[in-house]
Amino acid sequence: MEIRNYNLSDESQVIDLWVKCDLARPWNDPKKDIERKLKIDPDLFLVGVLNSKIIGTVMGGYEGHRGWINYLAIDPSQQRKGYGKIMMKEIEEKLKAKGAPKINIQIRSTNKFVINFYKSINYRIDDVISMGKRLIEDERYRK
């Protein structure tokens, strides 16, 4: 798998992958998420390519205090082959190079598969509560 920065021509493959991996939600328009990401740290938006097809994505962010991970996705047909671990190692190195001392990840509490994946690469559950407040309402995204 080759890991490279996201290109504008990747949009449809990336969104299709996110839908396939059940990451697209009605309240998060993936096109808007991509547009926003390209304005801030576009070098932290990576895709994994195998046989000319995007099989993986990961978005990283760093605001000066913590690194963040969003949209880690590996095509279901390519899962359990080490690609997720490789994508995470790459984004971790990029965040560390920017000075991020720690990475935080938000995972739906019901997503045991993903929780176990992150545990397998040495992430631990922190004793915190994640809270959010929507500042901009996107149009409802329909898959």
Tell me how far apart the alpha carbons of residues 94 and 29 are, in angstroms, rounded to a whole number: 26
Q: What is the pLDDT of residues 32-58, one digit of tens each?
A: 999 999 999 999 999 999 999 999 999
Prediction pTM value: 0.92
Domains of the chain, by residue range, sit at 2-120
Q: Is the pLDDT of residue 72 over 70?
A: yes
- Phi, psi (rounded to 5 degrees) for 7: -115, 150
Q: What is the pLDDT of residues 101-139, one digit of tens each?
A: 999 999 988 889 999 999 999 999 999 998 999 888 877
Tokens of 12: 């449809």
Q: Which of 141, 34, 101, 85 is nearest to 72 (CA)?
A: 85
Q: Is the pLDDT of residue 12 over 70?
A: yes
Q: What is the 3-state secondary structure (H, E, C) of 112-142?
A: HHHHHHHHHCCCCCCCCCCCCCCCCCCCCCC
Fold of domain 2-120: Aminopeptidase (3.40.630)
